[in-house]
Amino acid sequence: MQNRLGNPKNTIEIIQKYQFAFQKRFGQNFLIDAHVLDKIITAAGVTKDDMVLEIGPGIGTMTQYLAEAANQVVAVEIDGNLIPILRETLADYNNITIINNDILKVDINALAQKYNGGRPIKVVANLPYYITTPIIMGLFESEVPVDNITVMVQKEVADRMQVGPGSKDYGALSLAVQYYAEPYIVANVPPNCFIPRPNVGSAVIRLTRHKEAPVKTDSPALMFRLIRASFNQRRKTLQNSLNNSPELPFTKEQIAEAIENVGLTPSVRGEALTLEQFAALADQLKNK
């Protein structure tokens, strides 16, 4: 189409036309690189059978690409100042629904039901970095029917999502994401691909939802409490971290016995445990 926003010149013209002021509180950085946009659409595997939920469409740059690839696009934008711009930049498309709301307050299950008959949707977003984790975990924990989530995030956050035990980047986010999905870093994206330029590097990561959880536990909720507790004081031993947690009702002896029964030493730290070991520990403690 003529006003393709992957072209930086068109993006600048629209921003100037509406005298749009970037809002720091919304973490607004608009993508202006067509190669990166193509990579995102390809990585998400968007087809004419798909409904795509786009979080934070901005001025509609990626929305245009999504609309051409998908059956239906629902774009949720928190900034009311962007709604008139989106109405203009997306006027040529009849398969886009724009919702002016905070994504954390939207009933995404209801959207999936209304626009996709409850079938799994695909989520694509250039996420504000300050709210990346709540959005991604909210999608997983609310059991929204999701096929995959393909998002632009801060490079350091993408790294944390996909690393394994023993790395300094390994933590509660790594384990939570890997419990729900298979993470894959699609591309690293330098600051010059955005207006305005962010101060940090970015990355596109695809999270493909597991059909079944990769580990079995009788109490996922307890497993995640153990994970949080073990990384809240990551320099301490696992045993001390769990003992010190107000979230956990177990005695020092119960924790020590459970750690031993899983085959771990008393001096082990949480950052050395795999998802399977946290699941086994949860099952040990659940009955105490």
Lowest mean pLDDT across 19-33, 42-56, 206-220, 254-268: 19-33
Average of pLDDT values for 95-114?
A: 96
Q: How far apart are CA 220 and CA 176, in angstroms?
A: 10
Write the Ramachandran bin of 107: left for phi over 0, alpha for psi from -120 to 50, otherwise beta.
beta
Q: How far apart are CA 125 and CA 144, in angstroms?
A: 16
Please state the domain extents for the chain.
Answer: 8-209, 220-286
Cα-Cα-Cα-Cα dihedral sign, residues 231, 232, 236, 240 = negative
φ and ψ of 179, to 5 deg:
-70, -40
Average of pLDDT values for 182-190?
A: 97
Residue 4 binned pLDDT confidence (cut-offs 50, 70, 90): confident
Average pLDDT taken over every residue of the chain: 94
Contact (CB, 8 A) for 236 and 269? yes
Secondary structure class of 171 (helix, strand, coil): coil
Residue 163, Cβ neighbours under 10 Å: how many?
17
**Can you name the CATH fold of 8-209?**
Rossmann fold (3.40.50)
Residue 240 binned pLDDT confidence (cut-offs 50, 70, 90): very high
Q: How far apart are CA 171 and CA 124, in angstroms?
A: 24
Please identify, in words, the CATH class of the domain defined by 220-286.
Answer: mainly alpha
Q: Is the pLDDT of residue 170 over 70?
A: yes
Q: Is the pLDDT of residue 104 over 70?
A: yes
Secondary structure class of 169 (helix, strand, coil): coil
Taking the model in full, what pTM does it have?
A: 0.92
Pairing mode, strands 146-154 and 121-126: parallel
Q: Give every CB contact of residue 261 below 8 A, 6+ residues apart in sequence.
A: 284
Q: How far apart are CA 198 and CA 128, in angstroms?
A: 11
The alpha carbon of 54 is separated from its chain's Cα centroid by a whole number of angstroms, namely: 12
Average of pLDDT values for 239-247?
A: 94
DSSP string computed for 92-156: T-SSEEEEES-GGGS-HHHHHHHHHTTPPEEEEEE--GGGHHHHHHHHHHTT--EEEEEEEEEHH
- Please give the pLDDT value at position 209: 96
Query: pLDDT tens across 136-161, in order?
Result: 999 999 889 999 999 999 999 999 99
Residue 160, Cβ neighbours under 10 Å: how many?
21
Secondary structure class of 3 (helix, strand, coil): coil
